Structure 1
Amino acid sequence: MLTKEIRLYVYKQFSHLGTAPSVSQIASYFDISEDQVRDELLKLAEARHIAINDEFEILMAHPFSSIPLGFSVMGAKTLWWGGCSWDSFALPNLLIQEVVVATTCPNCNSAHAWRVNPDTPPQGEQIAHFLIPTKEMWVDVVHTCGNQRIFCNESCLETWLHRTNNQEGYVMGLSTLWALASHWYEGRLELEYQRRDPSTSLQYFREVGLSGSFWGLD
């Protein structure tokens, strides 16, 4: 039960304050030792609930992030780092509020911003590009999230791919990105949240309009 309670505490602090709690904060809140906290954070990281560094700082608790990866998300009272385009568009659905998602095109640095809410997808001609396929996303999840970006258009994406010597991953419009994000993190602010199993994840991907081997949908 302690592992679940610490997971929820991390998520609640992120949701209310936009920041991750430290090891000492968690230890103080639960009246346990810092070594116990580190053990619990390792369990959560191994279960892919959070991402931590060697100093046990919480880098990510999807869709929340404590490090800048190209997006900011502004609510009525709180400002969050958006871990990626997927996570940034997921925050208004998890928090049930309208937010402003802001970013810049990785190719030309043009600024983009959208009002994103849980009810309807935002308008825009921009495209989202995911570089790393699902089977490799957790090899280096911070790198993965840092490469789920939004570009002005296909031309900007093609120029960026050529300049960075990357192969095209998966491209989608804003409406598909919004659909993907809408219910992916549903329940993460509840104590008994459980991650989807692989088959349920694949079904979800199909339902929101994704296809191909990039998503494991051969």
Structure 2
Amino acid sequence: MSSDDDLAWDEDVRLAVYRAFSSRGRPPTAPELADAAHGSLAVAKQALHRMADPRWLWLDDREHVALAAPFAAVPLGFAVMGEHTMWWGGCAWDSFAIPHLVEGEPEVLVATRCPGCGEPSALVVRRDKPPQGSHVAYFPAAPHLLAEDRRKQRLYCSESCVDSPGPTLGLEPLWELAKDWYAGCLEPGYRMRGPAAAKEYFVAKGQAGAFRSG
């Protein structure tokens, strides 16, 4: 088996993962993974291990996909509800990205709880304009360093609820950054941005000064 074969199977398996999450809110079944790897579940699992990366693809102890950013297979603090499907969002950023990716869901309800005061909140996040409110997204490190634990990237009621050091973003800049971040992830040839490309993205979005270098 050549390295070219490996790469081809990796991409087929990645697409199977992302398309299952986008359409059903959960990862593909074992038969679906096997189909993506030309009938072999073992080959599919090898592909998942090659692609595993703390920035965007997590596997649990049973080799199941726990997260394919922005989609999660387990609760991480954000429920994202569309008209037809419900997803778990990996973090505040990921939750805001989902309506920009799923063609049939231009509007979702993002439900979470403020880690500071404990108040629940629900925000309507639309594809065409950002939500309004005093909420802020908190990042324990610069957001371009996406290996950080997504469970710490939370949405607070306001700045006054944040009691830890780190960058914060209001709803509008969060929406602006999230809407194009995962563009293309449901199509062949997608590559996750590394730190250098992420910084270029922030500059293009006019948000370069909002983050510490980390």
Matched, 1:148 2:153: yes
Aligned match for 1:90, one of 83, 93, 97: 97
Instruction: Mark the CA change 1:114 to 1:136 in structure 2 (over 3 Å): closer, same or farther.
Output: closer
Q: Distance in 1 between matches of 2:177 and 2:14?
A: 23
Structural mapping, 1:69-148, within 5 Å: 69-96=76-103, 97-134=106-143, 137-138=146-147, 141=148, 144-148=149-153
Contact map agreement 1:89 1:178 (CA 8 A) in 2 = yes
Q: Secondary structure at the match of 2:181?
A: coil
Q: Distance in 2 between matches of 1:28 and 1:194?
A: 22
Aligned match for 2:75, one of 62, 68, 71: 68
Q: Distance in 1 between matches of 2:26 and 2:15?
A: 14
2:18 partner letter? Y
Any stretches of 5+ residues in structure 1 without a counterpart?
162-167
2:187 partner letter? E
Contact map agreement 1:67 1:81 (CA 8 A) in 2 = yes
Q: What percent identity do the matched residue pairs reach?
A: 39
Deviations 1:4-61 (A, max 9, x none): 1110111000011100124454125544333212211011214955211232110111
Give 1:102 deviation, angstroms: 0.9
Give 1:212 deviation, angstroms: 4.8
Contact map agreement 1:176 1:209 (CA 8 A) in 2 = no
1:196 partner letter? R
Instruction: Mark the CA change 1:214 to 1:148 in structure 2 (over 3 Å): closer, same or farther.
Output: same
Contact map agreement 1:59 1:67 (CA 8 A) in 2 = yes
**Structure 2 counterpart of 1:194:** 191
Contact map agreement 2:100 2:179 (CA 8 A) in 1 = yes
Q: Secondary structure at the match of 2:208?
A: coil
Q: Distance in 2 between matches of 1:46 and 1:84?
A: 16
Instruction: Mark the CA change 1:199 to 1:135 in structure 2 (over 3 Å): closer, same or farther.
Output: closer
TM-score, normalization: structure 1?
0.85
Q: Distance in 2 between matches of 1:110 and 1:30?
A: 45
Give 1:94 deviation, angstroms: 1.2
Question: Pairwise CA RMSD of aligned residues?
Answer: 2.2
Give 1:199 deviation, angstroms: 3.3
1:210 partner letter? Q
Q: Distance in 2 between matches of 1:74 and 1:213?
A: 29
Aligned length: 205
Q: Distance in 1 between matches of 2:176 and 2:210?
A: 19
Deviations 1:189-213 (A, max 9, x none): 1012123354332111123233359
Deviations 1:56-111 (A, max 9, x none): 11011111000111101111100001110000000011114111111110122211
